[in-house]
Amino acid sequence: MFPDDAACARYLETIRWPDGFACPKCGVCGEPYRFATRSSVVLRCRACKANTSLTAGTVMQSSHTPLSTWFWGAYLMTTQVPGQSAVQFQRQLALSRYETAFQILHKLRAGMVRPERDAIGGEHPVEVDECLVGGETRGEGRGTHHKSIVVGAVEVRSRQDDGKKRARRVYAGRLRLRVVSDRGSNALNGFVKDNVALGSVLRTDGWTGYPGLTEAGYRHEALTLGGDPEKAEAHLPMIHLVFSNLKTWIKGTHHSRIEPKHLQAYLNEYVFRFNRRFYPMTAFHSVLGIAARSVPPTYAQLYSGEWEHAA
């Protein structure tokens, strides 16, 4: 879709003015003059001569980095399964300076930490559990120090029965992750109430940190596991799979070197990609700060083959 900077500029223009340019200053519609600048394109109104930058209001505003580099960064960050470290990114785009790579990723990441306020669950059952992540304890004996507690909730969605034989009848829906200071009921129940819709079916283990959820209005299915890992696997398969993949990502891409104070930001990045994995174009627009809502579905469908209304 984006072979060069000009293609990126045309795309930005079409996103912003799907029905053709209209001057933000005087409102006159009609073909503008176009000036290529070092990193973007400026449109000049033929009526009032006002200039409008194509990147105004996006993450690319005031940047000297070419549009195609930004687009590559957004593409790699939203579609690569493991995400990108700045070093990998710099190498992949042949950027001369590490700082440029770091800044681009940093700005794109800012488009990911948008708070997700919608409650998950509702018609879909939700699995909730905790895990420990990060923190090498090697050489210091066994223990959980230096590790952070992460509590997660994931929807269990059912596939439409289309008559085909499939290995799994269910798949993971939306995900929420939060770093908590302890496994007390305040921390765990607080997380559930902030993220899961009242009335949802809630599956947890029998841990004492989850009391009172039935009284709070959930259909709580707690399993007393008696320390049997196989039972836990059968009762909470989806959230365990999420935790396993999360740990692989932290180990693989980030070599377990995430400071506890930054962990929530990385969890947000992980959740962002996870929840949009079927809608990479939506994720791409979000991190670039492009107002995708103004794009008519026909345009997006034409190029990407998929469309999702504002999430």
**Residues binding Zn ion (CB under 5 A):** 23, 25-26, 45, 47-48, 50
Residues 6+ apart with CB under 8 A from 274: 172, 175, 242
| Pairwise CA distance, residues 202 & 153, whole Å | 9
Which residue, 24 or 57, is less far from Zn ion as judged by CB?
A: 24
Minimum distance from residue 164 beta carbon to Zn ion (Å): 56
Which residue, 54 or 242, is less far from Zn ion as judged by CB?
A: 54
Minimum distance from residue 24 beta carbon to Zn ion (Å): 8
Which residue, 26 or 291, is less far from Zn ion as judged by CB?
A: 26
Helix pair 280-288, 98-110: axis angle to 10 deg? 110
Which residue, 21 or 249, is less far from Zn ion as judged by CB?
A: 21
Using DSSP's 3-state secondary structure scheme, residue 175 falls into strand
Minimum distance from residue 119 beta carbon to Zn ion (Å): 44
User: Any idea what DSSP says for residue 181?
Assistant: S
| Pairwise CA distance, residues 109 & 103, whole Å | 10
Enumerate the β-bridge partners of residue 152: 129, 177
7, containing H or E segment? helix 5-16
Which residue, 30 or 260, is less far from Zn ion as judged by CB?
A: 30
Minimum distance from residue 18 beta carbon to Zn ion (Å): 19
Minimum distance from residue 58 beta carbon to Zn ion (Å): 21
Minimum distance from residue 251 beta carbon to Zn ion (Å): 54
Which residue, 30 or 206, is less far from Zn ion as judged by CB?
A: 30
Residue 50: how many other CB atoms lie within 10 Å:
14
Residue 229: how many other CB atoms lie within 10 Å:
9
